[in-house]
Amino acid sequence: MELLVVGAGAMGRWFAESVADECELAFADTDPAAAADAAAEIGGRAVSLDTDDRFDAVCVAVPISVVEHAIAAHADKATRALLDLSGVMAKPLAAMATHAPDVEHWSLHPLFGPANAPGTIAAASNNAGPVTARLRKALEAAGNSLFETTAEEHDTAMETVQAKTHAAILAFALAADDVPDEFHTPISEGLFSLVDQVTSGTPQVYAEIQDTFEGAEAVAAAARELADADPETVERLYRKSRR
């Protein structure tokens, strides 16, 4: 099976490496050198973004802000299946249905960074088939655990799992003062550790998540409610926050 990976960044390379035993690989990227480097590292070949070649499957591994454009631009290169790894599902699946209605559609969200692979992958499809089944088998053979969801369920969950979570951690980082290590509690150490983990990533990724998913305003409103609360209200909110 021939697979074209559009986007030779970290996620595109992770996916290609995970399914390499099942596929003949090709890479395309806005930076041709990145595509060539991925091909040399993982195997396969580099092709131009405007190649006329056709592939059994095309995987779009690009940022959220350009995923719909990339699907529209490369859908006609897929003869059997089209998939994305952008991290949002409703819009990519809708774009696949519009631009490649006759092939299999699959939207994947690896819930981890490539450095932490393998891990859990959310998967949604409005037109599954043998190609996506084969790719699923390869991902599972690489140690990943896939679970089925819908685009709506996934995108709603990301409001909490990503937008609210990142907003809370980054807001704490912006508000926190430096304190000597000996003053830290297990809770504060844990929170600062999360700050270090989040801020070691790529700012563009976090900016796109905040732009895509609602949630940050709810975190800000909750923080304001706590800041304005009297002791009795804090106790009530504390009890409410228990899950």
CATH number at residue 143: 3.40.50.720
Q: Can you tell me the distance from the alpha carbon of 120 to that of 161, in angstroms, rounded to the nearest whole number?
A: 14
Structure tokens at 33: 């050198």
Q: Can you tell me the distance from the alpha carbon of 206 to that of 10, in angstroms, rounded to the nearest whole number?
A: 16
Q: Can you tell me the distance from the alpha carbon of 162 to that of 146, in angstroms, rounded to the nearest whole number?
A: 19
204: which residues sit within 8 A by CB, 6+ positions away? 63
| Whether residue 100 is found in the same domain as residue 162 | no
pLDDT digits (tens, 9 = 90+) for 122-174: 999 988 999 999 999 999 999 999 999 999 999 999 999 999 999 999 999 99
Domain end call among 149, 166, 185: 149
Q: What is the pLDDT of residue 115?
A: 87
- 27, 38 contact by CB (below 8 A): yes
Q: What is the pLDDT of residue 36?
A: 98
Residue whose token pair is 């692979």: 117
pLDDT digits (tens, 9 = 90+) for 57-90: 999 999 999 999 999 999 999 999 999 999 999 9
Taking the CB of residue 131, how many other CB atoms lie within 10 A of it?
Answer: 21
| Whether residue 126 is found in the same domain as residue 175 | no
| Whether residue 17 is found in the same domain as residue 131 | yes
| Whether residue 63 is found in the same domain as residue 135 | yes
Mean pLDDT of the chain: 97
Q: Can you tell me the distance from the alpha carbon of 45 to that of 223, in angstroms, rounded to the nearest whole number?
A: 51
